[in-house]
Amino acid sequence: MTPAAQPPESSRADSDDLSLEILKTLQSNFSRSEFLISTLPGVLHSIGSETGGLVSQRLGKWDRECWIGEKTAFPDDLVSEAVDHGSPKRSEGWFAAPLDSQLLQSDSSTITSSSSALVFKLDSHSSNQKSAQAANQVRSAVALLAAALDRIDSHDRSVRRIEQLTSVLHAAAQWQRIADDETLLERIASTATQLLGCERASIFLWDRRRKKLIGRPALGVEGRPLEVDDSVGVVGEVLRSGDSKIWNASSSDDEGRVNRTVDQSLDFQTRSLVAVPMISRRGDQQREETIGVFEAINHHGKGFDHLDMAVLSDLALHAAVAIESQRTRQSLTESRDRLVNDAASATPLLGEHRSVELVRQSAKKVASTDLTVLILGSNGTGKEVLARQIHYQSTRRHGPFIAVNCAALVESLLESELFGHEKGSFTDASQTRSGKFELAKGGTLFLDEVGDLSAGGQAKLLRVLEDKVVVRVGGSHTIPVDVRVIAATNQPLETRIREKRFREDLYFRLNVVSLTLPPLSNRGEDVLLLAEHFLIHFSHQIGRPVPELHPSARQALMAHPWPGNIRELRNTIERVSYLTTENIITAADLMLNRSPESRISEANDAAFLNDLPPTLCDATRVFQVLQINRAIESCSGNMTEAASRLGLHRSNLYRKMRQLGMPTSGEENATTRRSASSD
Ligand SMILES: Nc1ncnc2c1ncn2[C@@H]1O[C@H](COP(=O)(O)OP(=O)(O)OP(=O)(O)O)[C@@H](O)[C@H]1O
């Protein structure tokens, strides 16, 4: 094997000088062009040339990147030949050498492709006399230059990559805050066009079922999103293979890969593109799923390269996450809206009577404001239903609706219930607890039976309504109150103010807008409308066919005074729905024709339920007394029958009555005695 020719001493000295100069320049952290301007004269000098420069391929042509001396035309064929062969070539006084650091090795069998070359004119005497020596000098100068440019390029690439990754992360953080689907896709696409320096970027979301790719955003034919078959073009290739692809018209004649129908429909010309798959990870298992393809079109510069592909892949990764989380957010919002709509329609304010219609209209108007509302009306007229209507029609509909029965708040617990307490602030405060004002944050607080609030409670409520802050019991910091207050009462507040039982200042605070619900007996045919509504509701609940109201039943419903209002009507229909099996409900089934006393007692029962003591134990006791009395009354005092209706043995009924402190008859004593003697 012939050893590589050694350059003579003088040329070795030249080459050492050049190496030193290049090394020094490299330390200056110059950009590629600054470096070339600074070192190219020395490089040319070292090889005995005064005219030449570095040329680079751009859109299929050789362009001067940096040139020294006279700008004469250079032979591009010679450059292409040198680059194609991966070795220096000379012809007619010109010399072209591909820029490849591998050329430092004297073994030129390694051919690598290069897109830059050094091209220069040789002095005629130097080319003729010392061609072998010149070739060696050129070889080492080009290799030095190539190695230095490699360093600069790789440093530039790292810097560009870091900048791009920083931009990608920054953009991705912004995307997470975008709620609207269209805006999100537009923002992702515009980030891609900026980062890649291209004309357009599009996200093709995959509709698997229809085997279509839907191009969004900004791609559209007459306002519709663009749809293409999921198997065509480079985008289809990427979807099928899962591999990213680059296509540059200048460097490829593989025209068939581009789906020109898209260009035609958009009056556009694709010259270069890069496309990457969009992969989303789902569920606990992080299962990968392709959701589409991200494509960037028409690079503003030389065409897309692998760095662009890497950036687009990074963007696609974050875009897939943003799209997925946006879809999740959207479906959560949709299901929340569905729940809110369900809740709103679960308690409609039924009624066609003019008085109800007027209340409904006023409620609609007041709902759009944040004003405090006072709802007046007797027991069971639908005050809470109306309060819910206002809440669900307001901008606070997505917030909570918290109802508090003020009459049930015992003085000692009132403050803690409404404003919360800190752990350890009193004996039973084992945990910190938020009060109703805090729980209703962003929503509506319904203060029912506000007229029954104690004097202390009234003062505390007034302070919160004025200051708009609460302080938990045992706490020191103030918590802002973000609630709309709706209060209700069946008490004649003005009379109570005169009697000094209700604070006038609180009344004015609450009575910003007042709505009054009429008693049911003043609502005309609404009685029938509501009765039929409840009949359908309870029949569906029980799973029985909906019975019809016999004309006699309709008459009885209209004639009844309904002291317990809609609650009483609802209870009546609930009872009849459970107790009758016929398809027609008669007046007798309704059991409305009872004595005025029993009607009063029923109305009292309705009010009574409302006034039940707060603890479960006390409420259960009171309820049991009521239920036993009702059973005895409905069996006309026949204790055996009443016990059987209650599901008890007669003796157990008496024992229960004694436990509850209820008076018992003489017969009971006999029974007790009997059971005592038999024990
Ligand atoms: N307009 C209406 N349409 C349908 N149902 C109604 C209507 N008004 C009231 N109701 C029903 O009647 C019952 C009593 O209603 P609600 O509790 O709202 O009355 P209230 O006036 O707040 O009673 P109270 O004064 O005892 O607190 C509830 O079951 C409710 O669903």
* Whether residue 35 has pLDDT greater than 80: yes
Q: Which of 567, 605, 611 to mutate to test the pocket of ligand 1 (most atoms within 8 A of CB)?
A: 567
| Residue scoring higher pLDDT (345 or 393) | 393
Say which range, 71-80, 121-130, 540-549, has the weakest mean pLDDT.
121-130
Q: Does the residue 529 lie in any domain?
A: no
Can you tell me the ipTM of this complex?
A: 0.97
- Tell whether ligand 1 has an atom less than 6 A from the beta carbon of residue 140: no
* Whether residue 603 has pLDDT greater than 70: no
Ligand 1 centroid vs 570 CA: distance in angstroms? 9
What mean pLDDT do residues 466-490 have?
A: 92
| Residue scoring higher pLDDT (598 or 393) | 393
Q: Which atom of ligand 1 is nearest to the CA of 378?
A: 25
Ligand 1 centroid vs 143 CA: distance in angstroms? 92
Contact 556, 588 (CB under 8 A): no
pLDDT at 679: 30
Tell me: the pLDDT tens digits for 56-109? 887 678 999 999 999 889 999 999 998 888 888 888 889 898 887 554 444 433
Ligand 1 centroid vs 642 CA: distance in angstroms? 31
pLDDT at 324: 84
Question: In this structure, are 242 and 325 located in the same domain?
Answer: yes
pLDDT at 225: 67
Q: What whole-number distance in Å separates Cα of residue 677 and Cα of residue 670?
A: 10
Question: In this structure, are 486 and 376 located in the same domain?
Answer: yes
Q: What whole-number distance in Å separates Cα of residue 468 and Cα of residue 2?
A: 97
| Residue scoring higher pLDDT (599 or 347) | 347
Question: In this structure, are 356 and 481 located in the same domain?
Answer: yes
- Tell whether ligand 1 has an atom less than 6 A from the beta carbon of residue 351: yes
CATH code (residue 262)? 3.30.450.40
Give the H or E element holding residue 212: strand 212-221
pLDDT at 255: 63
* pLDDT band for position 306 (cuts 50, 70, 90): confident
Q: Per residue in 501-522, is it b (16+ CB within 10 Å) or e — as a string? A: ebbeebbebbeebebebbbbee
Which of the listed residues 123, 156, 189 is the one where a domain comes to its end? 156
Q: Which of 384, 406, 446, 450 to mutate to test the pocket of ligand 1 (most atoms within 8 A of CB)?
A: 384
Ligand 1 centroid vs 379 CA: distance in angstroms? 8
Tell me: the pLDDT tens digits for 381-424? 999 999 999 999 999 998 999 999 988 888 778 889 999 999 88
- Tell whether ligand 1 has an atom less than 6 A from the beta carbon of residue 438: no
Q: Which of 447, 566, 572 to mutate to test the pocket of ligand 1 (most atoms within 8 A of CB)?
A: 566
pLDDT at 485: 96
pLDDT at 116: 86
Q: What whole-number distance in Å separates Cα of residue 280 and Cα of residue 296?
A: 19
Question: In this structure, are 230 and 324 located in the same domain?
Answer: yes
* pLDDT band for position 440 (cuts 50, 70, 90): very high
pLDDT at 525: 95
Q: What whole-number distance in Å separates Cα of residue 622 and Cα of residue 662?
A: 11
Q: Does the residue 84 lie in any domain?
A: yes
Atom 30 in ligand 1: residue holding the nearest Cα: 382
* Whether residue 672 has pLDDT greater than 60: no
**Tokens read off for 670:** 């006999």
Q: Does the residue 123 lie in any domain?
A: yes
- Tell whether ligand 1 has an atom less than 6 A from the beta carbon of residue 350: yes
Ligand 1 centroid vs 347 CA: distance in angstroms? 9
Which of the listed residues 518, 547, 571 is the one where a domain comes to its end? 518
- Tell whether ligand 1 has an atom less than 6 A from the beta carbon of residue 417: no
Please, what is the average pLDDT of the chain?
Answer: 82
What mean pLDDT do residues 615-643 have?
A: 79
pTM above 0.80, yes or no: no
- Tell whether ligand 1 has an atom less than 6 A from the beta carbon of residue 381: yes
* Whether residue 221 has pLDDT greater than 60: no
Q: What whole-number distance in Å separates Cα of residue 116 and Cα of residue 62?
A: 8
Question: In this structure, are 144 and 189 located in the same domain?
Answer: no
* Whether residue 172 has pLDDT greater than 80: yes
- Tell whether ligand 1 has an atom less than 6 A from the beta carbon of residue 377: yes
Question: In this structure, are 443 and 566 located in the same domain?
Answer: no
pLDDT at 276: 95
Q: Which atom of ligand 1 is nearest to the CA of 377?
A: 21
404 three-class SS: strand
583 conformational bin, left if phi > 0, alpha if psi -120 to 50, beta if neither: alpha
pLDDT at 594: 58
Ligand 1 centroid vs 596 CA: distance in angstroms? 23
Q: Does the residue 161 lie in any domain?
A: no
Q: How far is CA 338 from CA 137, 334, 391, 459, 630, in A?
A: 80, 6, 16, 39, 42
Domain that residue 264 falls in: 176-332
Question: In this structure, are 68 and 124 located in the same domain?
Answer: yes
Ligand 1 centroid vs 558 CA: distance in angstroms? 19
Question: In this structure, are 191 and 230 located in the same domain?
Answer: yes
Tell me: the pLDDT tens digits for 604-613? 665 656 666 6
- Tell whether ligand 1 has an atom less than 6 A from the beta carbon of residue 385: yes
- Tell whether ligand 1 has an atom less than 6 A from the beta carbon of residue 536: no
What mean pLDDT do residues 315-337 have?
A: 84
Tell me: the pLDDT tens digits for 496-517? 999 999 999 999 999 999 999 9
Ligand 1 centroid vs 657 CA: distance in angstroms? 33
What mean pLDDT do residues 229-239 have?
A: 88
Question: In this structure, are 101 and 228 located in the same domain?
Answer: no
Atom 8 in ligand 1: residue holding the nearest Cα: 382
* Whether residue 676 has pLDDT greater than 70: no
Question: In this structure, are 509 and 425 located in the same domain?
Answer: yes
- Tell whether ligand 1 has an atom less than 6 A from the beta carbon of residue 567: yes
Question: In this structure, are 555 and 480 located in the same domain?
Answer: no
Q: What whole-number distance in Å separates Cα of residue 678 and Cα of residue 675?
A: 5
- Tell whether ligand 1 has an atom less than 6 A from the beta carbon of residue 452: no
662 conformational bin, left if phi > 0, alpha if psi -120 to 50, beta if neither: beta
Ligand 1 centroid vs 376 CA: distance in angstroms? 12
pLDDT at 412: 79
- Tell whether ligand 1 has an atom less than 6 A from the beta carbon of residue 384: yes
- Tell whether ligand 1 has an atom less than 6 A from the beta carbon of residue 489: no
Atom 9 in ligand 1: residue holding the nearest Cα: 382
pLDDT at 200: 87
Q: Does the residue 287 lie in any domain?
A: yes
- Tell whether ligand 1 has an atom less than 6 A from the beta carbon of residue 383: yes
Tell me: the pLDDT tens digits for 638-662? 788 888 788 887 878 888 888 887 7
Ligand 1 centroid vs 416 CA: distance in angstroms? 28
Number of domains in the chain: 4
66 three-class SS: strand
Q: What percent of the chain has pLDDT over 70?
A: 84
Question: In this structure, are 451 and 417 located in the same domain?
Answer: yes
Beta strands 116-121 and 51-58, pairing class: antiparallel
* Whether residue 126 has pLDDT greater than 60: no
pLDDT at 20: 82
Q: Which atom of ligand 1 is nearest to the CA of 386?
A: 18
Ligand 1 centroid vs 530 CA: distance in angstroms? 11
Ligand 1 centroid vs 635 CA: distance in angstroms? 30
Ligand 1 centroid vs 609 CA: distance in angstroms? 14
What mean pLDDT do residues 618-647 have?
A: 80
CATH code (residue 407)? 3.40.50.300
Residues 6+ away with beta carbon under 8 Å from 368: 393, 394, 395
Which of the listed residues 466, 484, 518 is the one where a domain comes to its end? 518
Q: Does the residue 534 lie in any domain?
A: no
Ligand 1 centroid vs 398 CA: distance in angstroms? 22
pLDDT at 599: 52
pLDDT at 358: 96
Strands (E), 34-149: 51-58, 61-68, 89-91, 94-98, 116-121
Q: What whole-number distance in Å separates Cα of residue 165 and Cα of residue 2?
A: 50
pLDDT at 114: 57
Q: What whole-number distance in Å separates Cα of residue 586 and Cα of residue 588?
A: 5
pLDDT at 29: 80
Say which range, 102-106, 272-276, 401-405, 571-575, has the weakest mean pLDDT.
102-106
